[in-house]
Structure formats: structure tokens, C-alpha cells
Amino acid sequence: MAAHVVVVGSINIDFVVHAERLPLPGETLLGGRFTTQDGGKGANQAVAAARAGARVTIIGAVGPDANGERALAALEADGVDVPRVRRVDGEQTGVALVAVGARGENQIVVAPGANGALELDEEDRRLIAGADALLCSLEVPMATVVDALRAAHAAGRLAILNPAPAHALPSDVLAMGPILTPNEHELVVAIGNDQAEGALDELAARHAGPIVVTQGAAGALLADDGRREHFEGFTPPLVVDTTGAGDTFCGVLAASLADGMTLPDAVVRANAAGALSISAAGARAGMPTSEAIQTFMGRG
């Protein structure tokens, strides 16, 4: 049976506009193509893990609206289990406004909606305690994330925290030692040190577990038990849209680790998946299957 990953995170609908460049502060920019896509960091990571071969259950929240129905149908179509997704009365399903530039770079603003009301119950905690891996991110309340991490920690389960959007990390999170997967900006914010190298040293000294700093095309940097190891990135076959690359990395990392892969090997596989993911428009369109990842790595 496939390894079981539980994802605690957001479920959104993305409203995406493509433009020749990203707008400057205060600027109104005439863009081009508009699309509506399925998103949310939690949902994206769940889909990435499922396509990479894991059995995935998402714990999340949507509103009682058409966007929520669409989001759940999309998750189910990718094989993600959704019985633990709540429909929150009086809230709308979360939305993200995404601008994508000509080189695939993006700017994103999120209205959390129902995601902001997510709380765990005892059934959620039992589900986490029985899973092979827990994956969390921060488009849901920090208190909910801490609750999930505690459930995993108490049961001795593997836990991964993607500290995105950028947020200072409380000491009780660091004490539990989940695998952290910040990008360089999130690393700086997590510890409150505006120098990336110093921030990594400080965070590594205070954190009880491994840290994997994602670096886009440059790959990833692993800090674990006093050692540093850099993993080169893969050259993507095509760059269309970088939205969702980080979520792809995290989902594939979780699926790989849940299946028993070592952390260095899982980082390499996640790097490959992230590179493949940016070859199509939207957060999920380019997310690769396990077979596609293996084929791509074999060519590298």
C-alpha cells in the first residue's frame, strides 16, 4: 500500500493574469490572458504528493460556495481524500490573485476566507498520528499548525513544515524539530535575521530538526546536525510559470520521505519535480507524476 501523507493547509481558487512584466507599486498595468485555476498551498502540496505516488488526505476548509465545490472536485480528481475538509458557513472559499510575468515570475495576494477558520478535532489528530508523514504550511492559522505538529510529534511521526507565507516561527515549533522547507526570504523572516547565511546559522542552532532551504533554479541547501550540503537544481525543459514550484517541491519531498527515502535522496527527487512543474501555466498543470520524475532524473 502507498505511504500515507496527511496535509494540513489551505484550499484556494487562483485568479491569474499574465502580463509582459509585473506591476510596480501603485501602478495599473494592462495584462493579457486571464484564467481561473485550482490552488492553495495545502491543496497544491497534496496534489503534488499524490501525483508522486503517496496516498494523501487533506485537512482543510472551504466555504459553502461554488468555488469550494470546484476545489474539492479538483482534489478528488487527483486522488486526494477530502472527507476531513470542512465547509464553513459564513465564509468564502479562499482566493489568490496572481500576476505572472513574461519570464514566469509571479506576485501573489491571498484572501484566506474559510482557511482562516480551520481548527483540528480529535479525529484529525488521530489521522495525523497514524500517518507516515505530516505536511503543513502557513496559509491556515499558526495555532492549527502547531496543533498538527504536536499530534505528529507525540506519535513519533515524520513532520514537514513549509513556513510559507513567511512567518516568524515560535519556539515550541522549533523545539519539535519538523523538517523546515523555507525559501531564502522565508528563512530570513522565520528567524528575524536579514542576512540569509546568518539566518540559516541562527535557525539551525535553535531548531531541533533539519532545514532544507529551497533556492529555485540553484537547487536546495540542507542544514542538518551541523553539516551543510548543497544540491544542484535541474534545468527545466521549459519555463512558463513558476507558480507552485515550491509547493511541488514540498509535496514530492513529503511523499518521498513517507515512502522511506533518505532526506538527501528525497531532496534530489523534489528538486527534479520542481523543475518539471514550471513548464506549464498554473500551480498544478505542470506537477509531474512519479513516472515523469523518474524519467526526467534518468536523463539528467
Using CB atoms within 10 Å of the CB of residue 87, give its burial: 0 to 12 exposed, 13 to 18 middle, 19+ buried. Answer: middle
Tell me, what's the pLDDT at 243?
Answer: 77
Asked whether the predicted pLDDT for residue 300 surpasses 60, the reply is no
Q: Confirm whether 38 is a catalytic residue.
A: no
Q: Of the segments 62-76, 90-104, 224-238, which one has the largest average pLDDT value?
A: 62-76
What's the mean pLDDT in 264-274?
A: 97
In angstroms, the CA 168 to CA 294 distance is 36
Fold of the domain built from segment(s) 4-11+41-92+119-299: UDP-N-acetylmuramoyl-L-alanine:D-glutamate ligase (3.40.1190)
Residue 80 grid cell: 486526494
Beta strand residue intervals within 106-235, DSSP E: 106-111, 133-137, 158-162, 179-180, 211-214, 220-224, 227-231
**Which residue, chain included where needed, has cell 476545489?**
71
Asked whether the predicted pLDDT for residue 281 surpasses 80, the reply is no
Provide the phi-psi class of 251: left if phi over 0, else alpha when psi is between -120 and 50, else beta. Answer: alpha
pLDDT, one tens digit per residue, over 45-59 is 999 999 999 999 999
In sequence order, what DSSP letters do the residues of 86-139 get, joined into one string?
EE-TT-PPEEEEEEE-TTS-EEEEEE-GGGGG----HHHHHHHHTSSEEEEESS
Asked whether the predicted pLDDT for residue 106 surpasses 60, the reply is yes
Q: Of the segments 13-17, 37-41, 148-152, 283-287, which one has the largest average pLDDT value?
A: 148-152
Positive or negative, the CA dihedral 288, 292, 294, 295 is: negative
What's the mean pLDDT in 3-12?
A: 98
Are the beta carbons of 192 and 163 closer than 8 angstroms? no
Q: Which of 78, 225, 247, 265 is catalytic?
A: 247
pLDDT, one tens digit per residue, over 241-258 is 787 899 999 999 999 999
pTM to 2 decimal places: 0.93
What's the mean pLDDT in 17-33?
A: 91
In sequence order, what DSSP letters do the residues of 25-90 get, joined into one string?
TT-------EEEEEE-HHHHHHHHHHHTT-EEEEEEEE-SSHHHHHHHHHHHHTT-B-TTEEE-TT
Binning pLDDT at 50, 70 and 90, where does residue 144 land? very high
In angstroms, the CA 270 to CA 233 distance is 10
Binning pLDDT at 50, 70 and 90, where does residue 299 land? low
* 113 alpha-carbon distance from chain centroid: 18
Residue 198 grid cell: 546568518
pLDDT, one tens digit per residue, over 205-229 is 999 999 999 998 899 999 998 899 9
Positive or negative, the CA dihedral 63, 64, 67, 69 is: positive
Tell me, what's the pLDDT at 31?
Answer: 87
In angstroms, the CA 256 to CA 137 distance is 18
**Which residue, chain included where needed, has cell 513519533?**
156
Lowest mean pLDDT among 67-81, 125-139, 283-297: 283-297
